[in-house]
Structures are given as structure tokens and as C-alpha cells.
Amino acid sequence: MNERVEINEVCRIAGEAKLVLFQEKEKVKEAYFVATAPVRGFEKLVAGKNPFFAVEAVMRICGLCHTAHANAAAEAIENALGILPPRNGLLIREALGLVNKIQSHVLQLVMMAEDFVIEENRMETIFKLMSVHGKISDYLLKLGGAITHPPYLTIGGLLKVPKESVLVDLKTKIKDVESSWLEIVPYLTEEPYLTEVAAELKEKIFTPEYLASHLFYGDKYNITPETIKRVPYWNYKGKNEEITKEATIQVAFYKEKTVEVGPRARMKIYKSFQDNSLFGIHLARIEEVTIAFKRIEEILDQINPNEAFRTQNIVLRAGKGIGVYEAPRGTLIHYVELEEEGRIQEFKMIVPTMFNIPLMEEAVIGLSARAAEAVMRLYDPCIPCTAHTVKLR
Amino acid sequence: MEKLKAFHVDIGSCEGCNVSILRGFLNVRDTVDLSIKYLMEKMYMEDKYEMIIITGGVCMNEPHIIEKVKALREKTSTLVAFGSCATFGGILRFCRGGQEPRPDHRNFQPISSIVKVDYSIPGCPPSPQMVQSFFKFFITGSERKLRLFKACSNIKKLSGFDLIDDIVLTGLCIGCGVCELSCPTQAIRMIDKRPNLVAEKCIRCGTCYVRCPRASQLLCMEVQA
């Protein structure tokens, strides 16, 4: 007997999505994760526009991983123009990306609290997490110019340079933010504070193949972007059309295989992370926030305020480029083609959730429906990003 | 005192506004009872709310979203459009469709094009402090402070170009530089105490217009009249 469970709007994920599960004896046999957010069409939106607008525009694909998109787009356009920002520019860019990574991960942990943290501690943990979110958002405001969509981040480096006193201030405060984060960690990871769902996910071993290009920033030479193929969701599923036809997304494969991207992939490839259970994704995410704090500290030490932050005399011209960046949710790839006046001719992007969706559906087989819903959240799907991507030839 | 019962709905935004609302709400949780997707266990909606906040623009090619917005209007006496996409269209004004897998999603409109909106809060995204003050003004019923939000609810588009047309070209500009500070994309720069708009960077969010002391005065006067 196949029993059908349908969750019309999955709560506590970024964006709108539907979850359809087929169960047998209380265990999930098949899962459909159908994103239903409208396609805003950002690749088409930037066509014919100035590359400087493109960076501002693609930031607005997503309000959670804005900096990741801006970094990838700026990298791609710089690659096309054949320029490289000065060291300070690259460092600040990396710092902004890490601040964004912490923002995004912390928010994901807030959404996850309902599943993993026992009720007595739940609200308190959420408030503490949000206070860390507030403190770290201040870094984006001071370095990048806004708490979301940092406007100083642009092609060639940084548009406006933060004052030296601001940099010193940020440097002294980072320890404080870090310690308030470390205070919360036990409530998210240690046994007495965790729910049954967490225990069920600890039992489930799931070891897919991993893809990551860098621990902190992203490196286009560490992966082969040409081998990525994408198909619309309904083609990938190939059956149950009445469920899949509502989907507004595509899924992606690397070298014809499904791969997991995101915190666990990065930690496995670059940090010899050990946990193979689904709960390991949660642990990897927490670990990543901790090391991100360390790296921000390092970067703030290395910035030299007396040197340049941006490439001088940028000339727009024709060209092609690729930008690869490790977004909070995994490897993000932007392709750009500029026409002879330097305007955008073609823009394409591959976002991490496209890789993860097939795996999310695979991972839940054999779990209870309650845990299956939690796994969807655990992979931290970002629907706004995923529903705005175009098919590659 | 009884808490204000509010509900937040997202109809396809970038989530930036949602994070702002969440952060702002947690600071006023003693006076507001807001159901937001980030903290809900299961999606659940009652028949009536004192306030419904919508983020994101309406995709005109998706009938179910239009129906949803219309249904939400029926459920509340106060409908709030939050963020530039919901109020003036914002970056969604640039959408042209044609993108796989749904090339038919071509046209996006602000909420006020579909139903009557009571208050509009523009910004990309509006800051958490803005959320706090809005709730505070609403609960204390200070109409004077809500007037600007009310005025915005009648407008369907607003951008840096309107600021230049209505304020700078008419000679009303006093050169205070608020527009430069408020612009979320650094598209406005003051040159000789007058704003210069870098046209290709304007995302039509309307923040500069609403923040401009002169322009906001003009908007409020229209409501009073």
C-alpha cells in the first residue's frame, strides 16, 4: 500500500516549495520536492545591460546569499575583461563572502531549531542565534555598505573603502561575536538538547559524491565547469507529471553524476571531516561558521589600508568569463559573455541547490515523514536562486 | 494589552525582506504576534488577521499567485506591502521573461496593481529598525507618522529618475545628500551639492524619493488633500 503525504507549503525553508512523499509502512519510499516560486529570469534581465548593473542586479536574486552571487558575477566579468582586483580588494571580497556565509548559516540554524532543539531551549536558542545574526550583519554594513545586498562590492574591487578606524573597530569586536557564537554551539550539537528527529538522522548514513572548489572562496581551476549538465525537473523525474509540472526549477549534474555541494562537501574535501550521517551536514555547517570567524580575523589583520582597494582604469570590452564561488549552500558558477561595447550578451548561472535537489530526494528514502521534512531543511535549499536559472546548451 | 495579530506571506521575493522582518519582529515580540514562515512549525492560516504583510512582486503570468493576493486582501483590514518589489516593482521592473524552465513568467507587478494596499514600506530591503518603528507607529495609531507609508500605497512606480525630475529639475533640492546615503546600490552621488544619478545602477526601488525630505513632503501633501 502506497500512502501519499503532501505538504503544500514547506515551512522554514528559503522560498516556496511543496513536498510530496509516498510511504510504505510509515517509511518514505519516494519523495518529490517541487519548488513553485515564480521564475524572475535574472539571466535574461541583465542582457543588454551594463556589467556594473549586472552585479547589482544578480545580488537581488537572493536575500540570503547576495554576496555570493555578487562575488561570482564580479569574478566572471573580471575574467572576461582580463583584470584582477588588488590584494586588498580580494581580501575584503572574501571577508564579505564569509560574513554572508555566517549570516546564511545562522539563519538556517534558526529554521532548523524547530526540528533539532528540544522545546525548553528552543526559543532561547533562536533569540541567541538572531543576536549573532544581528552582530555579524553589522560587519556587512560597515565593510560592504548594507546589511543585505552590499553595494560597495563591484567589478575590480571595492567601491568605497572603509575608514581605518572602522577596520580597527571591527577587528576588536570579532572576538566578542565569536564567543557569543561559541556559547550557542553546545545547544545545537550536544545530546541532551537534541530531539528524536536529530537522533533518527544520526542513524542514517548517507555518503554521496562531493563537489567543492575551495574551503573559503572558490577557484575555477579546481573543478571543470564544462562538464555540468542541467535538465528541467520534470524531465529528470520523468513520471507523475501531475506533481512535477508545477515545478519552476532545473536540476544539475556534474560529470553525469549527482553530487552533493555545500558545507559537508567543503569540509570533507578540504578539512577531512569524518561524520557520514545526515546529521553530519548540520555539524559541518556549525564547524564551518566557527572556522569562518577565524578566517575573518585573519583577513582583517592582513588588510593594508594604505594600499589600493580597486583596479584603476577599467575598460569595458568584448569577452567571455567564468566565475566560481563557494556560496553558503555550495558551488556557485556564473558564465558571462560581453558584446563589443562591453554590455552583457549572455549570462548563465548554476546554483548549488540545483545539484542538491536530486540528493535530497534520495537521502530521505527509509526515513519517517517527519524526518524527511527535516532533511529538506537540512540541505538548506534556496528556491529564490534556483528558480532563476537558465538551461545550458 | 493584547498583541497585534499579524501574518507574513512571501509571494516570490529574494528573502532579504523576510530576514529584515524577522530581525525587526524579534525586537517587538512583546507587542506583536507575527506568524512568519521562518518560525512556524506547519503552514497554518486563520480566517482573520489584523495585519497581513506581503513581500515580493506579483507574477502576472501565474494565476494562482494573483488569486492568493486577492484572497489575502479579504482576510484583513490592513494590508502592508513590504520592500521595493512589493511596493513599486523594484528590480522586478526589469524582468522580461523568456527564461527556462518557465519562459512564460514575463510580467511582475507591485501588489497595489492587483488589490488596494493600506501601507507600503519601500526599501531594498527596508532595515529591521524600519519594521520596528512601523509596528510601533501602527500600534500607537500615530497617523502623522504613518502618512508617508500611506502615501506610498497609491504609487505603482518610483525611481531615481523621478527624484531628478520632480525635485532636482524643479529646483526644490536643498542638497542635503540623504538620497546618496539611502541609495542601496550607490547609484546616486552628490556633485556640487546636487545628486547625480548613475542611470545604469538604479534598480527602481524608490528609496531615495521616499527618504528625500522635499519629495516625501510632496507625497504626504497629496494624501492630505
The parts of chain A modelled with pLDDT lower than 50 are 390-393
Phi and psi torsions of B93, nearest 5°: -65, -15
Judged by CB atoms closer than 8 Å, whether chains meet at B19 and A63 is answered as yes
Decide if A37 touches B, using CB distance below 8 A.
yes
Residue A44 has its nearest CB partner, among B22, B96, B183, at B96
Chain B residue with the nearest C-alpha to that of A246: B102
Q: Which residues of A touch B38 (CB under 8 A)?
A: 12, 107, 110-111
Strands A330-338 and A344-350: antiparallel
DSSP annotation string for B61-128:
T-HHHHHHHHHHHHTBS-EEEESHHHHT-GGGGG-----TT-TT---EE-GGGTS--SEEE--SSPPH
Which residues does chain A have within 8 Å of residue B12's beta carbon, measured at their own beta carbons?
Answer: 16, 37-38, 40, 384
Tell me which chain A residue has its CA closest to the CA of residue B104: A39
pLDDT of residue A8: 86
For an interface test with B, give the residue of A50, A141, A148, A347 to mutate (most B CBs within 10 A). Answer: A148
Contact in structure between B17 and B83 (CB atoms under 8 Å): yes
129-168 in chain A: CB under 8 A from chain B = 130, 133-134, 137, 145-149, 151-152, 159-160
- All three cell numbers of A262: 555545500
Nearest chain B Cα to A123, which residue?
B39
Asked if A54 reaches chain B (Cβ–Cβ under 8 Å), the answer is no
Q: How many CA atoms lie within 13 A of A89 on its CB side?
A: 22
> Between the CA of residue B130 and those of A367, B16, B82, B140, B158, what are the distances in Å?
43, 14, 10, 15, 19
Chain A residue whose CA is closest to B93: A45
Q: Do B94 and A57 touch (CB under 8 A)?
A: yes
Give the C-alpha separation, B117 to B34, whole Å: 19
Task: Give the closest of B18, B39, B101 to A250, CB-based.
Answer: B101
Residues of B (73-132) whose Cβ lies below 8 Å from A: 90-92, 94-102, 105, 108, 124-125, 127-128
CB A102 within 8 A of CB A289: yes
- In sign, the C-alpha dihedral spanning B60, B63, B65, B66 is positive
Nearest chain A residue to B188 by CA: give it: A151
Q: What is the pLDDT of residues B41-71, one digit of tens each?
A: 888 888 899 999 999 999 998 888 999 999 9
Confirm or reject contact between A22 and chain B (CB < 8 A): no
The pLDDT of residue A390: 46
ipTM for the predicted complex comes to 0.89
For B86-121, the pLDDT digits (tens) are 999 999 999 888 887 788 888 899 999 999 999 999
Owner of C-alpha cell 518603528? B133
A391 CB neighbours in chain B (<8 A) are 100-101
- List the grid coordinates of B51: 495585519
> CA-CA distance, A282 to B109, in Å (whole number)?
38
A313: left (phi > 0), else alpha (psi -120 to 50), else beta? Answer: left
CB contact A391 to B (< 8 Å): yes
CA distance B220 to B225: 9
Check: CB of residue A324 under 8 Å from CB of residue A220. Answer: yes
A 302-341 → B contacts, CB under 8 A: none
Whether A133 and B14 lie within 8 Å, measured CB to CB: no
Residue A393 has what pLDDT?
37
Give the pTM: 0.93
Nearest to B95 among A16, A41, A384 (CB): A41
How far lies B10's CA from each of A300, A311, B4, B142, B198, in Å? 37, 39, 20, 27, 31
Residue of A nearest to B62 (CA): A38
Q: Which residue out of A10, A12, A39, A233 would a mutagenesis test of the B interface target, given it has the greatest number of B Cβ atoms within 10 Å?
A: A39
Cis peptide before A151 (omega within 30 of 0): no
Which parts of chain B have pLDDT scores under 50? none
B156 CB-side CA count, 13 A: 11
| Contact yes or no for A151 and B183 at CB 8 A | yes
Which of B14, B100, B184 is closest, CB to CB, to A391?
A: B100
